[in-house]
Amino acid sequence: MTDAQRRDPWPVRTERLEIRPATADDLAAVWEYRRLPEVNRWLGPAPQTREAFDDLYLDPDRMATTLIVQRRADDEIIGDIMLKIGDAWAQREVVDLAKGTEAELGWSLAPAFTGQGYASEAVRAVIDVCFGALGLRRVHAGCFADNEPSWRLMERLGMRREEFSRKTALHRSGEWMDGMNYGLLAEEWPGRA
């Protein structure tokens, strides 16, 4: 499916949530939970100041891949999801057929809202969009192996562990950590639209 054939699915509403593209007005709320050590411990970038955070997230490429997770009951922003559509690997003769066929996912949730099923609900909805309106063939996500809540979420959603790598990721603490990568194909997704 080409970009021109994809329809804009946002916002997406679930029973309790609305998932929509991020705007500059969302950054103050996102900063409030992403700045917390228990959250940014597992994130790739962890800017130390609000100014550095805004500089990173106001970049058009970053903003284009960031979705906001908001509770419908009170419009409170409780998390965010990265949805980065990219190309699959392909041999040269078929490289055009692999363009824009898969997505990398990542997520972050405010600690006050963990353990209540919000992350599962939000990521499930985004996967539905990936395999439905966006017409993608595969999604994948990775995490530090010590980030048990993240890999457990992937497994709950039916993602398959494709890699467990030993001490391949350097954490900002200076420790080399194990990594895990998960994937899911459209034909494996029970909620496929």
The rounded distance, in Å, linking the Cα atoms of 74 and 136 is 32
Q: Is the pLDDT of residue 27 over 60?
A: yes
Among candidates 54, 2, 49, which has minimal Cα distance to 26?
Answer: 54
Residue with tokens 């228990």: 38
My answer on whether omega of the bond before 37 falls inside 30° of 0, hence cis, is no
pTM as predicted: 0.93
Residue with tokens 């965010």: 80
The rounded distance, in Å, linking the Cα atoms of 101 and 185 is 11
Q: What is the pLDDT of residues 9-23, one digit of tens each?
A: 999 999 999 999 999
Q: What is the pLDDT of residues 164-192, one digit of tens each?
A: 999 999 999 999 999 999 999 999 998 65
To which H or E segment does residue 62 belong? helix 60-64
The rounded distance, in Å, linking the Cα atoms of 134 and 103 is 10
Average pLDDT over residues 61-78: 97
What pLDDT is recorded for position 193?
46
